[in-house]
Amino acid sequence: MPASPIGPELQRLIDLLAKMPGLGPRSAKRAALYLLKKREPVMRPLAFAMADAADKVMPCAECGNWDSIDPCAVCADATREAGVLCVVQDVGDLWALERAGAHKGRYHVLGGLLSPLDGVGPDDLNMGQLIDRARSDVVTEVVLALAATVDGQTTAHYLTEHLTDAGVSVTRLSQGVPVGGELDYLDEGTIAAAMKARRPF
């Protein structure tokens, strides 16, 4: 078998690109060729942006959101309600809630979910600080915006217990039929949950 036609610098770039979510070994090659063709407009700026973000973007000491300022822009925004904290698993979930414009308060990013099977316990997550924030006089409600999965439920139960002790009211996102969703395409669990949580019209 002949030696690989791909040199070491290029091969290393391809191997690292292939680790990114959404890129496999083949699409990493395609991405590497694309970058080399767009060297000045994309490749060099992207290399710089990556190194720059790796240096500057840090978790907010208050809420765990990622930003280059600390406290982050959300915590620093005085127009947001300080009394309502929305608890999310990850920064991506915070972005999703902001995209929906669904929450006018502050956030708390856990950085994961409790998972006994994977050995993730309360000390592995940003939880102690959440309890501390909930104990402050400012916070009156904590909204749990966690995934409707086993780990999400486990985490919600654990937090509800400790947050209720801290003297705040604990709420969670409702479950039900997605907007625009057709019943015929929904799983049984969602339909059962929507029926159980039915409301007067």
Residue pair 170/144 in contact (Cβ under 8 Å)? The answer is yes
Does residue 9 belong to the site contacting a copy of itself (CB under 8 A)?
yes
Strands 105-109 and 81-88: what pairing? parallel
Does residue 102 belong to the site contacting a copy of itself (CB under 8 A)?
no
Interaction mask 79-98, a copy of itself, x per CB under 8 A: xx---------xxx-xx--x
Does residue 151 belong to the site contacting a copy of itself (CB under 8 A)?
no
Binding residue for a copy of itself, selected from 25, 61, 68, 121, defined by CB under 8 A: 68
CA 57/CA 66 separation, integer angstroms: 6
Nearer to a copy of itself, 79 or 174 (CB): 79
Report residue 178 as tokens. 């997605």
Measured from the CB of residue 30, what is the shortest distance to a copy of itself in angstroms? Answer: 6
HSE of 1, CA atoms in CB hemisphere, 13 A? 3
Stretch that binds a copy of itself, among 60-68, 156-164, 168-176, 192-200 (CB under 8 A): 60-68
Stretch that binds a copy of itself, among 31-39, 117-125, 150-158, 190-198 (CB under 8 A): 31-39
Alpha helix (H) residue ranges in 57-181: 73-76, 91-100, 128-135, 150-165
Does residue 147 belong to the site contacting a copy of itself (CB under 8 A)?
no
Stretch that binds a copy of itself, among 69-77, 117-125, 172-180, 189-197 (CB under 8 A): 69-77
Residue pair 72/62 in contact (Cβ under 8 Å)? The answer is yes
Does residue 36 belong to the site contacting a copy of itself (CB under 8 A)?
yes
Bridge partners, 109 (sequence order): 88
Q: What residue has token string 């409790």?
A: 114
Measured from the CB of residue 87, what is the shortest distance to a copy of itself in angstroms? Answer: 15
Residue pair 146/89 in contact (Cβ under 8 Å)? The answer is yes
Binding residue for a copy of itself, selected from 61, 77, 118, 197, defined by CB under 8 A: 77
CA 38/CA 64 separation, integer angstroms: 35
